[in-house]
């Protein structure tokens, strides 16, 4: 019997407050892992956190995305826009 499991196996906070999330998809046959793939996504300080996001990612975002971090990130993004 085959089964599949998705788990957030890595959460990294980058310099500007972005949270990089790695999700591993593990495939099992008769309870033995036979394959694994990865996908990543980034949660920026100005993003609205999806209700479907992993609870640990939500907790990290809550702690890291302070008003100061959000304001600094927004200023950095605005400074990079063409004038």
Task: Decide: 28 and 2 in contact? Cβ < 8 Å.
Answer: yes
pLDDT at 78 over 90: yes
Buried b (16+ CB within 10 A) or exposed e, 30-63: eeeeeeeeeeeeebbbebeeeeebeeebeebbee
Query: What is the count of structural domains for the chain?
Result: 1
pTM of the entire predicted model? 0.88
Q: What is the pLDDT of residue 36?
A: 98
Residue 10 structural domain? 2-80
* Res. 2 pLDDT band, cuts 50 70 90: very high
The pLDDT tens digits for 22-76 are 999 999 999 999 999 999 999 999 999 999 999 999 999 999 999 999 999 999 9
**pLDDT of res. 83:** 79
């Amino acid at each position: 019997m085959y089964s599949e499991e998705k788990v957030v196996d890595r959460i990294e906070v980058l310099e500007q407050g972005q949270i990089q999330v790695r999700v591993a998809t593990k495939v099992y046959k008769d309870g033995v892992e036979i394959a694994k793939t990865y996908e990543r996504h980034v949660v920026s300080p100005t993003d609205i956190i999806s209700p479907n996001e992993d609870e640990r990612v939500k907790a990290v975002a809550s702690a890291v995305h302070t008003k100061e971090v959000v304001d600094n990130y927004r200023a950095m993004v605005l400074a990079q826009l063409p004038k």
